[in-house]
Amino acid sequence: MDNIRNFCVIAHIDHGKSTLSDRLLEYTNTISERKMKDQALDSMDLERERGITIKSHAIQLNYPHSDGTTYTFNLIDTPGHVDFSYEVSRSIAACEGALLLVDASQGIQAQTISNLYLALEHDLEIIPVLNKVDMDSALVEESTDEIVDLLGCAPEDVVLASGKTGFGVENILSAIVERVPAPDGDPKAPLTALIFDSVFNPFRGVIAYFRIFNGTLKKGDAVRFVHTENEYVADEIGVLQLDMHPRESLSVGDVGYIITGIKVSKEIKVGDTITHVENPAKSVIQGFEEVKPMVFAGIFPIDNDDFEDLRDSLEKLQLNDASLVYEPESSAALGFGFRCGFLGMLHLEIIQERLSREFDQEVITTVPNVSYFAYTNRAPNDRLIINTPNDLPDPTLLNRVEEPFIQAQIITKPEYIGGIMTLCMDKRGTMTKQVYLTTERVELTFELPLAEIVFDFYDRLKSISRGYASFDYTPLDYRESDLVKMDILLNNDPVDALSALVHREKAEAFGRKICKKLKELLPRQQFKIAIQASIGARVVARETVSALRKDVTAKCYGGDISRKRKLLEKQKKGKKKMRQIGNVEVPQKAFLEVLKLDD
């Protein structure tokens, strides 16, 4: 136990976590150079392509220290994006120490701070690492000063490193031995182990990753997962190097995996406690939460016949992504599909991309919305959860609506404060704090409705600040809000998939923008198309797409029938990505593009 060190790496996105983790693996010969693919820890293709870590992973390293002892390190990798912050918090809870990476050319950013707070909440020993010092644009002194200010540490506590060249890796490893405390706990006490992650393996079922705080777990033991109240036999336990290495027993401080024959990810909850069926622990590990989807959207097959295939694909996706939730939904405009819940917009995009890539399913995603509370007049506190605008009760029944608010942290340069404040106020936000980190960088805190940041907030923030703003958020609470349902009609047919809940004050402007945008997105057809936005019976905006007689074969006068046929086929194919609404054809991409309402 004295020779174990459990640590994680926390950083703002793109500050070099994966690259540095690779260097640590290489230096400790955990992975041979031949096997070394860039970013070995990011095992999903999609992760590697997007260069982001979606799922956290754990890996064991052996490090022979100059004191003559070989230490066992468990490195727990954490996802870097706000959508996955609950997983970050569970990974952190499994460690005693954290490497806090800061990109020397960027300095401290929003997620550096939010991740640091998470680590401090769990009393982790923080080792600050100034990364990417090889870069010409590295501001070593300034960034060190920022870290010293933030942590209240001495400048010599900051380890300089480069994941690219390998500089500083030895110093990091010895700092882990010297500064991170060894785990403590009682191997003879009742078992408590924290599940911090799980993965789906098509051959072995669901594999849960855990960290033992007390007690000893042996192969074949009968175990109970406390929150789900399920009992299993530990068919196989072991430690994670690049592959799984089975062990007969694991004890205090160990990080490992357990296989119990579970077939679906939903059965395992990250944050749950594992204990024994016999002699169970009296207390559970604190901090368990059910992960709640934050953003909802309808997903519909382009062709209604593909509905069952879509159901199969979603089922398979959910096997290894328990945070995806879905239920069947029907839309007058789009037919049968599913209302899906996601952790955030990135999660939504990832699911959409995986559907297309892994299952060859092209889908229509409807306007995403957050989850609202609607209180009716039927009884005091009769509360409905509204995950789609179409579920909103009739205005005569409706008492009030509440919407989720978040606290947002933005770090930027002083010259962009004005623009960012205007943006946040436009998004119905209020500023609650402004702190100068240095003369050159300032941290702003806002309270904002989540619905307002779901769409195009991040893009606009980036353009206002020319990329010099980082952003992170945490959920706050639900607040009463004056929301109305806006319907969109095409030639008088309401398109339920385009309905949205919007704040009353912004409704008209929103309606006008959406009609204008739709006018750009709808191809001209052989008749006039009237686009209208309405609140109840009141039309608040209108645009018209004028008619066009489109004859694709007109060019091929003369008798070449095969060429004509080819063109017609091509046109038919193009149409497959269209949906017929009333008599109007709407391209697939219009449903998502329509909300990108940059001015």
Ligand X SMILES: Nc1nc2c(ncn2[C@@H]2O[C@H](COP(=O)(O)OP(=O)(O)OP(=O)(O)O)[C@@H](O)[C@H]2O)c(=O)[nH]1
Site residues for ligand X per CB under 6 A: 11, 13-19, 51-53, 80, 131-132, 134-135, 162-164
For the chain, helix, strand, coil in percent to 5 are 30, 35, 35
Pairwise CA distance, residues 330 & 497, whole Å: 10
- Is 122 annotated to bind a ligand? Reply is no
CA distances, 236 to each of 201, 246, 274, 303, 379 (Å): 14, 7, 14, 44, 53
User: Is residue 16 a known part of a binding site?
Assistant: yes
Contact assessment for residue 42 and residue 50, using Cβ atoms and an 8 Å cutoff: no
482 belongs to an annotated ligand binding site:
no
CB of 169 to ligand X, least distance (A): 10
Asked if residue 2 belongs to a known ligand binding site, the reply is no
Can you state the angle between helices 85-93 and 110-121, rounded to 10 degrees?
A: 40
CB of 164 to ligand X, least distance (A): 3
For residue 132, say whether it is annotated as part of any ligand binding site: yes
Closer residue to ligand X (CB): 15 or 339: 15
Q: Rounded CA gap, 173 and 576, in Å?
A: 56
Residue 573 annotated in ligand binding: no
In the bound state with ligand X, the residue whose beta carbon lies nearer, of 13 and 374, is 13
Q: Which is nearer to ligand X, 24 or 206 (CB)?
A: 24
**In angstroms, what is the minimal distance from the CB of 37 to ligand X?**
13
| Beta carbon nearer to ligand X, 112 or 198 | 112
Nearer to ligand X, 112 or 371 (CB): 112
Rounded least distance, CB 122 to ligand X, Å? 20
Residue 133 counted as an annotated binding residue: yes
Which residues face 533 on adjacent strands? Answer: 488, 541
Is 134 one of the annotated binding-site residues? yes
- Single-letter amino acid code for the residue at 219: K
Q: How far is the CB of 338 from ligand X (least distance, A)?
A: 29
Q: Is 149 annotated as a binding residue?
A: no
Which CB, 168 or 389, lies closer to ligand X? 168
Nearer to ligand X, 54 or 206 (CB): 54
Tokens for 466? 């020319």
What is the closest distance, in whole angstroms, from the C-beta atom of residue 15 to ligand X in the complex? 5
Q: Could you tell me if 412 and 465 are in contact, meaning their C-beta atoms sit under 8 angstroms apart?
A: yes
Cα separation, 233 vs 215, whole angstroms = 17
What burial letters (b/e) apply to 45-61, b meaning 16+ CB within 10 Å? eebbeeebbbbbbbbbb
482 to 72, 103, 284, 373, 508: CA distances (angstroms): 56, 43, 41, 12, 14
Helix (H, G, I), strand (E, B) or coil at 298: strand
List residues bridging with 481 in a β-sheet: 401
CB of 353 to ligand X, least distance (A): 16
CB of residue 462 vs ligand X: minimum separation in angstroms?
16
9 marked ligand binding residue: no
Q: Closest separation between CB of residue 200 and ligand X, Å?
A: 21
407 three-state secondary structure: strand
Residue nearest to ligand X (CB): 80
Q: How many CB atoms lie within 10 A of CB 421?
A: 17
Counting DSSP H helices and E strands in the chain, the numbers are: 14, 34
Name the residue nearer to ligand X (CB basis): 80 or 404: 80
Of 162 and 214, nearer to ligand X (C-beta) is 162
If 0-12 CB within 10 Å is exposed, 13-18 middle and 19+ buried, where does residue 134 land?
middle
DSSP conformational letter for 265: G
User: From the annotation, which residues make up the binding site for GTP?
Assistant: 14-19, 131-134
User: From the annotation, which residues make up the binding site?
Assistant: 14-19, 131-134
